[in-house]
Amino acid sequence: MSTTAVTENILPSAEALELSLVVPIFNEQESVAPLIERIVEALAAFGAPWELILVDDGSTDATIANARAYIGRAGLDLKIVALQRNFGQTAAMQAGIDAAKGRLIATLDGDLQNDPKDIPMLVAELERRELDLLVGWRKNRQDGLFLRKVPSWIANRLIGKITGVRLHDYGCSLKIYRASIIKQVKLMGEMHRFIPAWVAGVVPSTSIGEMPVTHHARQYGASKYGISRTFRVILDLLSVMFFMRYKARPGHFFGSLGLGLGALSAVIMTYLFIDKFILGNDIGARPMLMVGVALLLSSVQLITTGILAEMIARLYYRDEQNPNYIIGKIYKSE
């Protein structure tokens, strides 16, 4: 078979695909060939049609070249979605989900730390428990204690407490989704860590489960993440909390703060009014007057911000189908 490169944004539809495997990759030239081999071996007895979608997130090494060598291999439905530049793991994952045609979608990392042999087991468990999302739990995680494990433990508990979705391992990329559910969720920024929380905005949290999976130590290259991601997780978590509660009504968030400050300003101003015009005291140099004026101005600003946020939210809902990535090429079997 010949290999072609096209610039379409949507892959041709496949008939009766049961499973789509989405793997974001970035500078994984040593890992991509063993990864494909392991996936083919793991799904050899799957018993239903499946496809593999590799999303190259702007790699600068031989990742795409090594992956393209497998296009046209018998028994392998492989598609490579090459983004024009590095957009980040979240955008790469979204591109793969958008391109997926299977009834179920599995995501996993491209660094060989997730084991593809767990996928058939996860699919069976998802169906048995009638879940919409099954999350892998790296119970015996093969990573550094202080730089990876401890920050993850803290983050997982904090995320669970704030979002209400209690999981042991939010960060595991090995997940199985029903396509009809995950395609209702749009991933942006660095929000791939909080996918279960976003899915919980579409289905009840009881439709989300977890299951222990195998985790291997990294064999090639270096981790793309460090301790600095902890701070990004905290900022993203605040965003998740805001969007989960106020995505469709941001004016309520800013408006509530504005009304609260306005009420406090009204109390201060009323007190100063009585003190000035009834008791006859001088209030011109009193700090309380400045505080009252500052609170009043802050109240007006927050309420105005709430109105603008409502307008932006409506634009967001109107344009939310626009992708947050740009595809350069798609390589597929002809």
Structure tokens at 80: 């490579």
Sign of CA dihedral 14, 94, 62, 109: negative
C-alpha closest to that of 135 among 83, 191, 195, 215: 195
CA distance 297 to 239: 26
Give the pLDDT confidence score for residue 151 in this predicted structure.
Answer: 64
Other CB atoms within 10 Å distance of the CB of residue 226: 11
pLDDT for position 236: 73
Residue 262: which H helix or E strand, with range?
A: helix 250-277
Of 97, 295, 257, whose CA–CA distance to 178 is shortest?
A: 97
What is d(CA 334, CA 309) in angstroms, rounded to the nearest whole number? 47
pLDDT value at residue 251: 83
Token digits for 153? 């433990």
Q: What is the pLDDT of residue 166?
A: 80
Query: What pLDDT score was predicted for residue 333?
Result: 65
3-6 vs 327-333, strand pairing mode? antiparallel
**Cα gap 303→307, rounded to integer Å:** 6
Which amino acid is present at 82? A
pLDDT of residue 209: 93
- Name the DSSP letter for residue 203: S
Residues 6+ apart with CB under 8 A from 47: none
For the segment 67-93, what is each residue's pLDDT rounded down to a tens digit? 999 999 988 999 999 999 999 888 999
- List CB contacts of 320: < 8 A, sequence separation 6 or more: 186
Which pLDDT belongs to residue 208? 93
Query: What does the pLDDT read at residue 145?
Result: 57
Quick: pLDDT tens for 145-184.
555 566 667 677 777 777 778 888 887 889 999 999 999 8
Query: What CATH number is given for 3-245 in this structure?
Result: 3.90.550.10
Q: Give yes or no for a contact between 203 and 131, defined as CB atoms under 8 angstroms apart.
A: no
pLDDT at residue 82, as a whole number:
96
Domain residue spans of the chain: 3-245, 250-318
Alpha helices in 189-228 (DSSP H): 195-199
Distance CA 69, CA 323 (A): 29
Whether residue 198 contacts residue 187, with contact meaning beta carbons closer than 8 Å, is answered with: yes
Would you call 313 exposed, middle or buried from its count of C-beta atoms within 10 A (0-12, 13-18, 19+)?
Answer: middle
What is the chain's pLDDT, residue by residue, as a tens digit (334 residues)?
444 444 444 444 445 789 999 999 999 999 999 999 999 999 999 989 999 999 999 999 999 999 999 999 988 999 999 999 999 888 999 999 999 999 999 999 988 889 999 999 999 999 999 999 999 988 877 655 555 566 667 677 777 777 778 888 887 889 999 999 999 888 877 777 788 888 888 888 889 999 999 988 777 666 555 555 566 667 777 777 777 777 777 888 888 999 999 999 999 999 999 988 898 888 888 899 999 999 999 999 999 998 888 888 777 666 556 666 778 778 876 6
Q: What CA–CA distances, in Å, run from 27 to 31, 83, 189, 248? A: 9, 13, 20, 38
